[in-house]
Amino acid sequence: SQGILFKKGEIGRKIPADKLVEELLDEIDKFEEK
């Protein structure tokens, strides 16, 4: 299965489910840096 990363209500890129948490944490890190 795949997770879909949403950005501002739009579908971003599809990523493997086992990478979903890692990707989300990555996005959170980027968001918090701003």
User: Quick one: pLDDT at residue 17?
Assistant: 73
Write down the residue that tokens 């959170």 correspond to: 28
Q: Is the dihedral of CA 20, 13, 24, 9 positive or negative?
A: negative
DSSP assignment of 1-34: -EEEEEETTEEEEEEEHHHHHHHHHHHHHHHHH-
pTM over 0.95: no
pLDDT digits (tens, 9 = 90+) for 2-32: 666 666 655 556 667 777 788 888 888 988 8
User: Quick one: pLDDT at residue 18?
Assistant: 78
User: Quick one: pLDDT at residue 13?
Assistant: 66
State the Cα–Cα distance between residues 23 and 26, nearest whole angstrom: 5
**Three-class secondary structure of residue 34 per DSSP:** coil
Q: Where are the domains of the chain?
A: 2-33
